[in-house]
Amino acid sequence: MGMDRIVAIEDDVGVCRLLRHTLAREDFDLQIVNNGTAGLDLARTLSPDLILLDLGLPDIDGLEVCRRLKSTPETRHIPVIILTGNDKESDVVNGLEIGADDYIVKPVRPRILTARIRAALRRRLNPADTPKTGQDLKIGTLTISAQREVLTLDGEVVDLNPSEFHFIHTLTQVLAPPGDAPSLDFFVGQEGLSLYAEHRLDRLSPIFLALLNGSLQHPLLLKFAGLSLLHTNPNQAETFLNRSATLFAEAGNPVAELSILSHLVLHHLFILGNVEKAAELFKKTEALEHPHFDRLSALSRISVAQALAVGYALFLDNFSRAYEYLSIAEAIAEDRGLGHFRVFNLLIKAYHAYVTADVEKLSRTIHEILLLLNHPQIDTTNKALLKMAQLFYLSLTGDYCYFSAVEETVRDEFGALLPPSSLPLRLLTLLQTESAQANGGHDTVISLHKSDPGPPTVLTSMLALSEALTNRSGAAEKTVQSYLNAKKSIPFFDMQGRLYSIRTLLEIDQSAEAAALLEQTRLQLATSNWRMINIQVLSLSLLFHRGQPLSVQQLTTLQMLITEIKATGIRHLPCLTADDLSSLLYAAIHHDIERLFAADLCRELLGISWNRNWEPVPILHFRTLGGLQLSCQQNPLLSIESFSRRQRDCLALLIAAPNNRIEQEEMQLIFWPDSPPDKARANFDTMLSRLRKTLQAMIAPLSAKNYLKLKNSIVSLDYCSFDIDQLRHAFDRGSKCLSNHDCWQADIAISHGLLLWNGDFIPGSSLADQTAKVADQIHQACTKMTLLWGNRLTELGQTARAIRLLNKAIARDRCNEELIAALHRNYMRSNNLVKADLLLRQYEKSLHAEGYPPADIGRLLTRVRTLTSV
């Protein structure tokens, strides 16, 4: 047999070099042309075995080239693999609908390239893949003309590419009377799973349903009908897959049953959220795997290996076995150019980092996930599963500020894809509960879970703690017992629920029961590596002795606890309240256990600083953007209305000054430039005294003199924090992360900063020269970061978030041309022409209101449209 002839239609010099080197080494006969016209001519004259087609060609759009190839009789049977540097999902879908057989996103590794080429050639050369001549085949409302390669459903022609048509045609040969064709079963299984692996099977679901309505109840048809509906109709998918598994079991085909069970394990666990059923199916899969795994097809081995890996990790806490199976799945997928099968590898890696409290490993894993998320082979459900890793991170670090910034986006993404019972949405609810509890919103937790009934889970024990902390002891006792008596499912989360139960029992004065449960937990943890759980167990053991002098053994426990928190980098212990954490950190500082680290944690997590005598001093926080508000440990104290104009100006001056310090003489010159020195000094003393009095009235029993100081003729604000400093720090950190291509940490930092941007710096201040500069700097920094991060979000495929971000900025600067152009561009890219047009009309109205001449307005509108089209 001669060498396979391949035509590459590609204009990128680097890619052409790669193709020549890789394909020559694999004994392919390669010819390269650099434009679509030459490619079409060569395809007609040479009739190659396969065509590699770039989308970004200089003369004809690659999709148009593909359409012409597939609509021309001489070339329509030639497999076409799209090569594209654009991972835009719509382009890939359009290419497949036009008739392309596959697609590869550049840059591509040589091994994946050759694997995908050989797979396409195998499909073309397989005898079972050759259309048969003869009469049309009619099943129910479905008609297949093999000679013309046309399929009609309810009288309408269904647009299928060659590989999809050949799969359906061969499947019907197995299913249709007068009998089946068992020799084709293996081919159908392989080709169907290939389409499923490439997320192309859902396009065929109407055909499968028509065949089922035609009274064809073959288990193979039920299997593929179920797989095609996994993402669009999960309950019906479960019904079909269950029926298929039962029929294969009754027919004595354990190999086919094993393949289907693996899909059901993952489906019940992640999509339906039926953890107990998933665990039951995992046991069946595990029992069938040992005698039958080697008899599976390659693609079935991937799904079985992944189901076993997930089961070993979540149900048995056996990560060594989990990684063994994941390595099998990844090796097979890599050999066939299906790199997107790394989804479950990364998800288990993230879960492992979560339970072992490895913040750094989890952050690196999320970075890997973000690089994979926009790959077109990653379907929307898998994107939701991968985003679970981000929820793990937020739970581990207690980063509820970031969570509040993205909660709406995350829930929109998950809610559109998954039922409320799904594991990602359950995890989202868990994080929402943690966030509410951390901020003292226990009534919110109670209302949240009253409207979310279901089998007892870790969420039930979290509800019990909120009930206990709001003096609902009877309800808390009943709730915690319902959790402890319930059947358990995922060991790590079950153990976390037990810790909440222990803390609840302590709160409702059932310390003996709590101590017994804690001791039982300690014994069960002896063989685990759940570092996150162990740290909380150390914490709970110390709470039994709160308010009492610590023994030598308890001091050793406290040392171990603080050392573990420092080593892991975690900033959140879920089952502890703020009072619990403060008592532990106060004890560490009092006994000089990692004193500086404990003091930093107090400052960061509790809003507590320490004076030179190591006495606690609550930090006063000034919110200055959009107004002026003072709070202490998240409790609002004063708003802008509480201060006189002069007092507000004084605070604005101090907050804007370097290190929040300013010389008394300078302040006197600013406020009373024309007054004699004695008079200015007297006025200053009166202003400072009145400002202290205003503060003192609200922060008692704290002393205002500890915060607003006058020493050595320097006025200062001490033991205070300011939102503008936090904003600057967040933007600095975000910029550094972006320069290091760490989008995940950049997202956290930048979202923190932009969340603080609630308006101008202390609006209404009369000290224009002193504070206007700061106000302008902050506004410019926020606008610049909005544009920068909005563009990056668009590149990452998060257009909805980018639109929200830009709309928030435009609400504060309605005439900003760059913001308007960026938002208009996002509306156009998301095909929201109505909102794009409305935006320009609002922009025109705002320009009129600002007094712009009509000629300038016309020029600005034209420029926005031009910027949008670039």
pLDDT value at position 129? Answer: 45
Return the bridge partners of 783, or none: none
Which residue from 567, 558, 633 is spatially nearest to 590, judged by alpha carbons?
A: 558
- What the block records as the tokens of 279 is 């665990």
- What the block records as the tokens of 68 is 């012409």
In degrees, to the nearest 5, what angle opens at C-alpha 719 toward C-alphas 716 and 720? 80
Examine the pLDDT at 127 and tell me if it is beyond 50.
no
pLDDT value at position 489? Answer: 80
pLDDT value at position 752? Answer: 93
pLDDT value at position 125? Answer: 56
pLDDT value at position 87? Answer: 57
Share of the chain above pLDDT 70, in %: 94
pLDDT value at position 86? Answer: 63
More confident residue, 404 or 374: 404
727 touches 778 (CB < 8 A): yes
The whole-angstrom separation of Cα 242 and Cα 250 is: 12
In this structure, the chain runs to a length of 870
pLDDT value at position 338? Answer: 73
pLDDT value at position 838? Answer: 93
Look up residue 59 and give its DSSP letter.
Answer: S
Examine the pLDDT at 731 and tell me if it is beyond 90.
yes
Examine the pLDDT at 869 and tell me if it is beyond 80.
no
Sheet-wide strand order for 50-54: 29-33, 5-9, 50-54, 80-84, 102-105
Examine the pLDDT at 183 and tell me if it is beyond 80.
no
Examine the pLDDT at 70 and tell me if it is beyond 80.
yes
More confident residue, 537 or 870: 537
pLDDT value at position 1? Answer: 44
Q: Which amino acid type is present at position 359?
A: V
At 11-63, the pLDDT tens digits run 888 888 888 888 877 778 899 999 999 999 999 999 899 999 998 888 888 88
Q: Quickly count: other Cβ atoms within 10 Å of residue 51's Cβ.
A: 27
Return the bridge partners of 151, or none: 144
Phi, psi of 195 (to 5 degrees): -65, -40
Residues 6+ apart with CB under 8 A from 263: 226, 227, 230, 241, 303, 307
Dihedral (C-alpha) 725, 726, 731, 733: value to the nearest 10 degrees? 110
At 818-828, the pLDDT tens digits run 999 999 999 98
Look up residue 248 and give its DSSP letter.
Answer: H
CA Rg value for the chain: 33
pLDDT value at position 451? Answer: 61
Q: Which pLDDT band, with edges at 50, 70 and 90, does 641 fall under?
A: confident
The whole-angstrom separation of Cα 608 and Cα 601 is: 9
pLDDT value at position 242? Answer: 95
432-436 contacts at long range (C-beta below 8 A, 24 or more positions apart): 432/403, 432/407, 433/459, 433/462, 433/463, 434/395, 434/398, 434/400, 434/462, 434/572, 434/574, 435/400, 435/403, 435/404, 436/466
Examine the pLDDT at 238 and tell me if it is beyond 90.
yes
Examine the pLDDT at 184 and tell me if it is beyond 70.
no
Look up residue 181 and give its DSSP letter.
Answer: -
The whole-angstrom separation of Cα 273 and Cα 455 is: 11
Whether the upstream peptide bond of residue 701 has omega within 30° of 0, thus cis, is yes
606 touches 619 (CB < 8 A): no
User: Considering the chain, what is the average pLDDT of its residues?
Assistant: 87
Most confident by average pLDDT, 144-158, 458-472, 623-637 = 458-472
pLDDT value at position 388? Answer: 86
Q: What is the mean pLDDT of residues 133-143?
A: 74
Per-residue CA distances from 522 to 498, 508, 510, 514, 533 (Å): 11, 22, 19, 12, 10
Which residue from 267, 286, 281 is spatially nearest to 325, judged by alpha carbons?
A: 286
CA 14 to chain centre: 34
Residues 6+ apart with CB under 8 A from 478: none
pLDDT value at position 327? Answer: 92
pLDDT value at position 93? Answer: 67
How many alpha carbons lie under 13 Å from residue 803 in its C-beta half-sphere? 17
Examine the pLDDT at 847 and tell me if it is beyond 90.
yes
The whole-angstrom separation of Cα 802 and Cα 819 is: 11
pLDDT value at position 98? Answer: 75
- What the block records as the tokens of 555 is 């001091």
Q: Which pLDDT band, with edges at 50, 70 and 90, does 123 fall under?
A: low
At 265-314, the pLDDT tens digits run 999 998 888 999 999 999 999 999 988 998 888 888 999 999 999 999 99
720 touches 712 (CB < 8 A): no
At 186-203, the pLDDT tens digits run 667 777 887 887 777 888
At 20-29, the pLDDT tens digits run 888 877 778 8
pLDDT value at position 768? Answer: 59
Containing 616, the helix (H) or strand (E) segment is strand 616-618
Containing 347, the helix (H) or strand (E) segment is helix 342-355
Sheet-wide strand order for 635-639: 635-639, 629-632, 620-623, 720-722
The whole-angstrom separation of Cα 334 and Cα 340 is: 9
- What the block records as the tokens of 703 is 């002393």
The whole-angstrom separation of Cα 466 and Cα 433 is: 10
